[in-house]
Amino acid sequence: MANGKIHSFQSLGTVDGPGVRFVIFMQGCPLRCKCCHNPDTWDFQGGTEYSPQQVAERVARYRNYFGAEGGITVSGGEPLMQAEFTAELFRLCKMQGISTCLDTSGCVLNEKVQQILDFTDTVLLDYKMTNAADYLDFTGMEMQQAEDFLHNLDERGIDTWLRQVIVCGINDTAENVRILAEKKRKYACIKRIELLPFRKLCTAKYEQLGLFFPLGNYPETPQSRIDELAGELI
């Protein structure tokens, strides 16, 4: 079974799926989202190698904190790029009664990814934009890939949280949010929609890596704007 390259761990995360969760940030991502907070996870050659068993044992130490809803979340980077590792890790966790959550862009859908979903309780699907041209420009990924992934989740009946980072001047419009609301009405698998405010805490990472931050001149999104847009989800 393939080992995985991991960027970092967060032992008690509270914003990465239901309840309190042990979060694994995988190394390597093929996307270049303009709002990315973790450019240090892009490089597929970075990270530290672990076996699925090593990580499952680490997760199990925290199970007393998970309560009825918590568990493990595998995030990124992009966990679909290390599908064999993620599937085996989820299988081991499910054997121990630990709930599993996948945080993904949905950029890949193949047999190995389907094996991850066989052991996935919840998906946090980062649905970056709501029209095809903006999606490709903002991420380097075709919108249809995310749509296909969402359709597959709906066919499987996997609880899905649709997430989108809201950037003032780019997608902070009522129309954009209404389209997300329409997705929720269309797909029974979508249990909630999360509008995430754009933040710039990542600026220092870009500077340290010598990378240009595409949204460096955009303001952070105030919570008041998120609250206004959330009204369009009703």
Residue 100: which of 24, 152, 175 has the closest Cα?
Answer: 24
pLDDT in tens, 38-58: 999 999 999 999 999 999 999
pLDDT in tens, 126-183: 999 999 999 999 999 999 999 999 999 999 999 999 999 999 999 999 999 999 999 9
Structure tokens at 2: 């393939």
pLDDT in tens, 70-102: 999 999 999 999 999 999 999 999 999 999 999
- Of all residues in the chain, the percent with pLDDT exceeding 90 is 98
Q: Give the burial class of 153: count Cβ atoms within 10 A of its Cβ; 0-12 exposed, 13-18 middle, 19 or more buried.
A: buried
CA pseudo-torsion sign 50, 55, 61, 66? positive
Find tokens 């066989």 and name the residue.
Answer: 118
Q: What's the pLDDT at 232?
A: 87
Q: What's the pLDDT at 234?
A: 74
Q: What's the pLDDT at 185?
A: 96
Q: What's the pLDDT at 1?
A: 65
Q: What's the whole-number average pLDDT of the chain?
A: 96
pLDDT at residue 29 is higher than 90: yes
pLDDT at residue 230 is higher than 70: yes
Q: What's the pLDDT at 113?
A: 98
pLDDT at residue 107 is higher than 90: yes
